[in-house]
Amino acid sequence: MEKKASYPQILTTAVLTAAILVLAACSGNHTTNKESNPSSQASQTSNDNTGDAADSTAEIAKGKYDSPITVTSVMGLSDQVQKSVAIKPDVVNDNIWTRGYEKDLGIKIKYLWTVPGAQMEQKMNVAISSNDLPDIIPANPRQFKMLVDTGVAMDITQLFDQYASDFTKKMMEADKNIGLNQATVEGKLMGIPQLNGAIDAASMIWIRADWLKNLGLEPPKTMDDVIKIAEAFTKNDPDRNGANDTYGLGLLKDLTGGFAGLDGFFEGYHGYVNGWIDDGSGNLVFGGIQPPIKSALAKLAEMYKNGYIDKEFSVKDTAKVAESVTAGKVGMLYGQHWNPFYPLQDAKNKDPKADWQAFPIVSIDSVPAKPMINGSAATFYVVNKKMKNPEAAIKLYNYFYAKDPAISPDFAPAYHGKNGEQEKIPDQNYQLATMTSFYPQQNLFIHQSVNKYFNEKDQSVLENYWVKDNVEQIENYKAGDNKLWSGYAWAGPDNSAFNVIEFYDKNDRFLQNGYIKADTESTTQKGATLNQMRSETFTKIIMGAAPVDEFDAYVTKWKKLGGDDITREVNAAK
Amino acid sequence: MHHRTFGGKVFEGVNHLFLAACALLCIFPIIHVLAVSFSGSTAAAAGQVTLWPVEFNLSSYKYALNNPQFLTSFLVSLERVALGLSVNMLLTIFAAYPLSKERSDLYGRNAYSWYLFITIIFSGGLIPWYMTVKQLGLMDSVWALILPGAVPVFNVIILLNFFRQLPKEIGESAFIDGAGHWTILSRIYLPLSKPALATLVLFTCVGHWNAWFDGLILMSSPHHYPLQTYLQTIMINRDMSLFTTASQEELKMLSEVSDRTLKSAQIFIAAAPILAVYPFLQKYFMKGIVVGSVKG
């Protein structure tokens, strides 16, 4: 008897659950397709009491709301902002940006929730699933696609055109519209991209120059040089400690990535392990299954056999490889521009002689190696269809571009916040803005200006806030503050990360990934399995557990297990 | 004692070795974390620390104890344990006592039991749970961490089984002497159930202290995170691909964020209260199981 009593319970629960889900889905599809009626005309100007920058501010804002409106959003907190929150708990709701929005734009910001950046994805997934969403939704590419597919995202093509400030449009041009293109679905702009520098993602080789010097070697010009350096770093005791305890090439178990990955190594063979390339007839094919990858794997297997690669690489994650680097066991690795900040600065702290320098990737033949670059946006601000004043989103975006980039005519340093002073003034930091987006060539610009200062003694570049900040740090490093080495290795004048990026830029080396939009249906479903299979196959080949020809079997399986579907979808969506 | 056979001795020897190895496996990571927390940060970053601190210093502890977020979260956790423990234990006892009675004493006892039991097997899932808590207006309050799990059904079952094992006659004779249910529960059942209660107190404390996921999903600001949620945010493996396009300011935080000694110190301080509670409740814990089995 009692047992039967449980069935109604289950049924009720099931029905209720289904009802909730259906309701959630319905409200998600609920469209408010009314043409947004811009309550403020472009001609409206802000009051003169906004200060001396009133004229340009009026242009930025394209009109202030007479009676303040409230806009909701959420925020993933950067590490810096988390520190600020600990000092001043209400800093997210009351800071230089929120005050500026209210004073200059008549917009009050209300954050429904905030979460440390590392957990943003998880928290946002729950919010999307339960349709508990704010007006402005910061989304990663996968979530962006979900919001578009479920009809939450508003088509802002016209609004953006109408309300984007001249400076904002200039930034989009500087980006060659790559970010906007990423946010465009079937010809409609469905989100506002947070621009970063696409070119910053290019691979480079980090090498311990002090080891090169110890062994009388030159920086690599060809792929053969890379192998020779790896050999010498393994066998010839580059650190002169009399022990055979070093190896040539740092590698982590994931095989690809921005630190100790193989992307740059494959690029040396003209292979693009994660990219889509033109097959010559206008169709895109997946780079990871092309013959150059096989040749590169054969070479890697040889290097592994000879001990140039850590025998235990297949179990080493970023932190473990970083340990080897800091302990002075590794002398060369493929990486990206940010490596000096982590973990190379640790290596420098441990051993001030560790002189890591960046070099461009090199080629196996006479064709120059080209680093692949992806899109410029990894975050998209989706405007919720239910938002009452959708143009406010674009005004907030304009406002950031007006106040933050040091090349903007309205640049105000307080909005950006000063490095290292966040503990004294926690409410001044660009990361507190509701929407952020950057000058795509910002880092390269900094480097070039820093170069002018050091090489041509051009003092005028110091007028720019970014440049002044970086020059000061590099000067302090040169004066003996070892802790500031990372800034020097990042943007400094001698073999820094951005020397390499500048080299690529000048010589037109960047290769744009053929597909930079959100993952397709099949990629979402099968991508993880395919990546897992790749990682297993490649690891086996490198470790000699499988012959190089295993690669051909992998290619066949890749196509069969969803790769062909993905290729079709990518070609349809490009 | 009888003279043991050779085989018996070997068995015992192997047994001891095996148990010692298991114990070492458990304690090794704790000692390692402790050693790292007392080490210099460069030595830790280079992976030179195993079981003994290298470049001994206390700076990470100083930093952790001066970190306002760490302290705030520590207080939130204490509040959570205090409130959660009272609510959970009270409701566990009040649910277990009537359910431990015979069917004839409590009309519909089995229906109530099933009603509770079903929640162990089926749950609404993450999203309905989140929406319920939100609609009840509990978001961002410490009660969101306590009320959804206010009746720990598993604990209720343990306690009601323990109550059932107590000789019925004690309760009956007290009843004849004029005692009501309140008196029987508070003066007879509870004092007799100390081992079981101590075990449940331990379970509940550890459960509340270690829970982190609900804090992450239900709190709207990191300022309200309990300690384990905060620790999770600093321990989580960062997605390195995000740094590809990170701005310089974010990059500069990287070296600080990756500081292993600091993480270790915070882990250790967070684990300390539980480590301190265990020895005091452990004796009841052992006894609880033994007593239960004998009476059964």
- Predicted confidence (pLDDT) per residue in A15-68, tens digit: 444 444 444 444 433 333 333 333 333 333 333 333 334 444 445 545 789 899
Q: Let me know: does B221 contact B140? Beta carbons within 8 Å.
A: yes
Asked whether residue A542 carries a pLDDT value surpassing 80, the answer given is yes
- Nearest CB partner across the interface for A6, out of B67, B114, B241: B114
Question: Is residue A155 located within the same domain as residue A215?
Answer: no
- The backbone torsions φ and ψ at residue A189, rounded to the nearest 5 degrees and listed phi first, read -80, 115
Task: Identify whether residues A177 and A237 lie together within a single domain.
Answer: no
Give the number of C-alpha atoms closer than 13 A to the C-alpha of residue B112, restricted to the C-beta side. 17
Q: Most confidently modeled of A74-78, A539-543, B283-287?
A: A539-543
Identity of the residue in B42, B72, B242 whose CB atom sits nearest the CB atom of A350: B42
CA-CA distance, A229 to A246, in Å (whole number)?
Answer: 12
Task: Return the structure tokens found at B181.
Answer: 């249910």
Residue type, A374: N
Minimal-distance CA residue of chain A relative to B242: A378
pLDDT at B62 over 50: yes
**CA atoms of A168 and A393, how far apart (whole Å):** 13
- Contact check, Cβ <8 Å, B115/A9: yes
When pLDDT is averaged across residues B175-179 and rounded to a whole number, the result is 91
Select from A268, A332, A275, A316 the least CA-distant residue to A296: A268
Any chain B CB within 8 A of the CB of A462?
no
Q: Identify whether residues A117 and A168 lie together within a single domain.
A: yes
The 10s digit of each residue's pLDDT in B72-116 is 999 999 999 999 999 999 999 999 999 998 888 888 999 999 999
Single out the residue of A290, A309, A289 nearest to residue A299, CA to CA.
A309
Strand partners, A222: A363
Domain at A274, CATH number: 3.40.190.10
Contact between chains at B233 and A486 (C-beta distance less than 8 A): no
CA distance A149 to A151: 5
> What is the pLDDT averaged over residues B148-174?
90
Look at residue A35 in the predicted model and tell me its pLDDT.
Answer: 37
pLDDT for A288-306, tens place per residue? 999 999 999 999 999 999 9
The dihedral built from the CA positions of residue B104, B107, B111 and B117, taken in this order, carries a sign that is negative
- Under an 8 A CB cutoff, do A13 and B122 touch? yes
Q: Given strand A136-139, what is the order of strands in its sheet?
A: A107-116, A69-77, A136-139, A377-383, A192-195
Provide mean pLDDT across the span B231-241: 77
| A324 belongs to a structural domain | yes
pLDDT of res. B285:
67
Alpha helices in A236-382 (DSSP H): 263-268, 291-305, 318-326, 345-350
Distance between CA atoms of A348 and A326, rounded to whole angstroms? 8
The shortest C-alpha distance from A562 to chain B (Å) reads: 25
Question: Which chain A residues are Cβ-neighbours of B131 within 8 angstroms?
Answer: 20, 24, 130, 132
Same domain, A428 and A488: no
Helix (H, G, I), strand (E, B) or coil at A43: coil
pLDDT tier, A465 (very low <50, low <70, confident <90, very high otherwise): confident
pLDDT (0 to 100) of residue A129: 92
Average pLDDT in chain B? 87
Q: What is the CA radius of gyration of chain A?
A: 26
Which chain B residues are closer than 8 Å to A327 by Cβ? 46-48
**Strand pairing category for A284-286 and A184-185:** unpaired
- Is B243–A323 a contact, with Cβ atoms under 8 angstroms apart? no
| Residue of B244, B259, B266 to mutate when probing chain A, most A C-beta within 10 A | B244
Closest B-chain CA to A256: B241
To the nearest whole Å, the CA of B65 is away from the closest chain A CA by 13
Nearest in space to A105 (alpha carbons), one of A117, A97, A113: A97
The string of pLDDT tens digits covering residues A484-520 is 999 999 999 999 999 999 999 999 999 999 999 888 8
Same domain, A229 and A127: no
Name the 3-class secondary structure at A331: coil
**pLDDT of res. A152:** 96
Closest residue on chain A to B248 (Cα): A443
Q: In terms of domains, do A341 and A279 share one?
A: yes
**CA nearest neighbour of A270 among A294, A248, A252:** A294
Shortest distance, CA A359 to any CA of chain B (angstroms): 17
Q: Please indicate if any CB of chain B lies within 8 Å of the CB of A327.
A: yes
Tokens of B90: 């009270």
Of B45, B126, B220, the CB nearest to A113: B220
Residue A314 pLDDT more than 70?
Answer: yes
| A480 contact partners, CB below 8 Å, separation of at least 6 | none
How many Å lie between the alpha carbon of B228 and the closest alpha carbon of chain A? 14
d(C-alpha B31, C-alpha B34), whole Å: 5
Chain A contacts of B252, Cβ < 8 Å? 341, 419, 486-487
Residues of A with Cβ-Cβ distance to B124 under 8 angstroms: 13, 17
Mutation site for B-interface testing, chosen from A88, A342, A432 by largest number of B Cβ within 10 Å = A342
C-beta of residue A395 within 8 angstroms of C-beta of residue A64: no
Selection from A478, A555, A430 nearest residue A95 by Cα: A430
- Please name the helix (run of DSSP H) or strand (run of DSSP E) that holds residue A74, with its range, or none: strand A69-77
Flag whether the ipTM exceeds 0.85. Answer: no
Distance from CA of A32 to the nearest CA of B (A): 23
Closest chain A residue to the Cα of B134, Cα to Cα: A132
Q: What is the DSSP string of B232-277?
A: HHHHSPP-GGGGGG--HHHHHHHHHHT-HHHHHHHHHHHHHHHHHH
Percent of chain A with pLDDT over 70: 89
Q: Are A213 and A348 found together in one domain?
A: yes
Output the pLDDT for position A11. Answer: 45
Kind of pairing between the strands at A69-77 and A107-116: parallel
Q: How far apart are the first and last CA of chain B?
A: 28
The one-character DSSP state at A200 is G
Q: Tell me what pLDDT residue B286 has.
A: 64
Residue A192 has a pLDDT of 97
Q: What's the rounded Cα separation, in Å, for the pair A8 and A282?
A: 60
Residue A150 tokens read as 């479920």
pLDDT at A531 > cutoff 80: yes
What are the angstrom distances between the C-alpha of B10 and each of A354, B6, B7? 55, 6, 5
| Cβ <8 Å between A431 and B72 | no
Once rounded to an integer, what is the mean pLDDT over residues A328-333? 95
Domain range for A489: 442-493
In a domain, A361, yes or no: yes
Residue B139, strand partner residues: none
| Nearest chain A Cα distance for residue B186, angstroms | 30
CA distances, A361 to each of A204, A226, A334, A372 (Å)? 5, 9, 8, 11
The pLDDT, as a whole number, for residue B248 is 72
The C-alpha atoms of residue A273 and residue A286 are separated, in whole angstroms, by 8
* Between B258 and A497, the higher pLDDT residue: A497
Q: With 60 as the cut, is the pLDDT of residue B284 above it?
A: yes
Same-domain check for residues A254 and A154: no
d(CA A194, CA B249): 16
Q: Is residue A2 pLDDT above 50, yes or no?
A: no
Chain A CB contacts of B130 below 8 Å:
126, 130, 132
Alpha-carbon distance values, A326 to A359, A445, A481, B13 (Å): 20, 30, 18, 43
- Cβ contacts (< 8 Å) between B112 and chain A: which residues? none
Looking at every residue in chain A, the average pLDDT score rounds to 88
Whether A149 and A270 share a structural domain: no
How many CB atoms are closer than 10 A to CB A194? 21
Instruction: Identify the pLDDT of residue A24.
Output: 42
d(CA A12, CA B46): 57
Q: What is the pLDDT of residue A19?
A: 46
Judgement on whether residues A424 and A551 belong to the same structural domain of the protein: no
Q: How far is it, in rounded angstroms, from Cα A518 to Cα B62?
A: 45
In-domain check, residue A169:
yes
Chain B residues closer than 8 Å to A490 by CB = 248, 251
Residue A513 belongs to some domain of the structure = no
> Is A507 part of any domain?
no
Q: Does residue B50 contact residue B32 with C-beta atoms inside 8 Å? A: yes
A residues 80..99 contacting B (CB < 8 A): 80, 82-83, 85-87, 89, 92
> Which one of A5, A322, A323 has the shortest CB-CB distance to B114?
A5
Which range, A118-122, A534-538, B244-248, is most confident? A534-538
Chain A closest-CA separation from residue B88 CA (Å): 24
Contact check, Cβ <8 Å, A258/B236: no
Model pLDDT for residues A108-160, shown as the tens digit of each residue: 999 999 999 888 999 999 999 999 999 999 999 999 999 999 999 999 999 99
From CA B249, how far away is CA B240, in angstroms rounded? 16
Q: How many domains does chain A have?
A: 4
Residue A273 has φ and ψ, to the nearest 5°, of -70, -25
Q: Are residues A41 and A116 in the same domain?
A: yes
Give the Cα separation of A501 and A504 in Å (integer). Answer: 5
* Domains of chain B and CATH, by start: 12-57 (no CATH), 59-295 (1.10.3720.10)
Q: Establish if A182 touches chain B: CB-CB under 8 angstroms.
A: no
For residue B255, list chain A residues with Cβ-Cβ distance below 8 A. 341-342, 345-346, 486
Q: In this complex, which of B124, B220, B257 lies closest to A79 when CB atoms are compared?
A: B257
Question: How far is it, in rounded angstroms, from Cα B188 to Cα B180?
Answer: 11
- Which helix H or strand E contains A377, and what residues bound it? strand A377-383
The pLDDT score that the predictor gives to residue A59 is 52
Which of A6-10, A337-341, A381-385, B47-51 is the least confident region? A6-10
Tokens encoding A165: 């400030």
Q: For residue A381, which phi and psi values (nearest 5 degrees)?
A: -90, 110
Lowest mean pLDDT among A115-129, A330-344, B256-270: B256-270
**B241: nearest CB among A20, A257, A341:** A257
Would the CB atoms of A338 and B243 count as touching at under 8 Å?
Answer: yes
Is B222 within 8 Å of A490 when comparing Cβ atoms?
no
pLDDT band per the 50, 70, 90 thresholds, residue A210: very high
> Are both A159 and A216 inside the same structural domain?
no
| B193 Rama class: left (phi>0) / alpha (psi -120 to 50) / beta | alpha
Which residues lie below 8 Å from residue A32, measured CB to CB, with a gap of 6+? A385, A386
Q: In whole angstroms, give the CA distance from residue A513 to residue A372.
A: 6
Place of tokens 């002018």: A452
CB-CB neighbors (< 8 A) of B213 in chain A: none
Is residue A503, in this structure, part of any structural domain at all? no
Which tokens belong to B201? 């107190």
